[in-house]
Structure 1
Amino acid sequence: MAFPPKDRRGFNPRFRQPEPEHRINDRIRVAQVRLVGDNVTPGVYATQDALKIAQAQELDLVEISPNADPPVVKVIDYKKFLYEKKKKEKEMKANSKQSEVKEIRFTPGTDDHDFDFKSKHAEKFLKDGNKVKCYVQFRGRAIMFQDRGQVLLLKFAERLAEVGALEGMPKMEGKRMIAMFAPKGTKKKA
Structure 2
Amino acid sequence: MLDNYNSKNDRKFSQDTPIINERIKFQKVRVINSQGQQLGIFIIKEAIEVAVKENMDLLLVSDKSDPPVCRILDYGKYKFTQEKRAREARKKQHTSTIKEVKMRYKIEEHDYKVRVNQAIRFLEAGDKIKATIIFRGREIHHSDLAIDLLNRLANDLSSISEIQQKPLRDGKNIIMLLNAKEILL
Bin of the TM-score, shorter chain as denominator length: 0.7 to 0.9
Aligned residues: 171
Q: TM-score, normalised by structure 1?
A: 0.80
Q: Secondary structure at the match of 1:152?
A: helix
Q: 1:105 to 1:22 in 2, by over 3 A?
A: same
Give 2:183's match in structure 1, choosing from 170, 180, 186: 186
Per mean C-alpha deviation after superposition, the further-off stretch among 87-96 and 41-50 is: 41-50
Indicate the residue corresponding to 2:139 in structure 1: 142
Q: Secondary structure at the match of 1:22?
A: coil
Contact 2:51 2:72 in 1 (8 A): yes
Q: TM-score, normalised by structure 2?
A: 0.82
Q: 1:113 to 1:77 in 2, by over 3 A?
A: same
Indicate the residue corresponding to 1:13 in structure 2: none
Q: Residue 25 in 1 paired to residue 13 in 2? A: no
Indicate the residue corresponding to 1:118 in structure 2: 115
Contact 2:20 2:59 in 1 (8 A): yes
Q: 1:123 to 1:138 in 2, by over 3 A?
A: same
Cα distance in structure 1, aligned partners of 2:30 and 2:21: 14
Q: 1:25 to 1:184 in 2, by over 3 A?
A: same
Indicate the residue corresponding to 1:99 in structure 2: 96
Q: CA offset at residue 68 of structure 1?
A: 4.0
Q: CA RMSD, aligned part only? A: 2.1
Cα distance in structure 1, aligned partners of 2:101 and 2:31: 58
**What do residues 112-160 of structure 1 show as CA deviations (whole Å, max 9, x unaligned)?**
2211121122122222322211111122222222111111101110111
Task: Please list every run of 5 or more consecutive structure 2 residues that lacks an aligned counterpart in the other structure.
Answer: 1-11
Report runs of 4+ in structure 1 exceeding 4 Å deviation.
none
Cα distance in structure 2, aligned partners of 1:68 and 1:171: 57
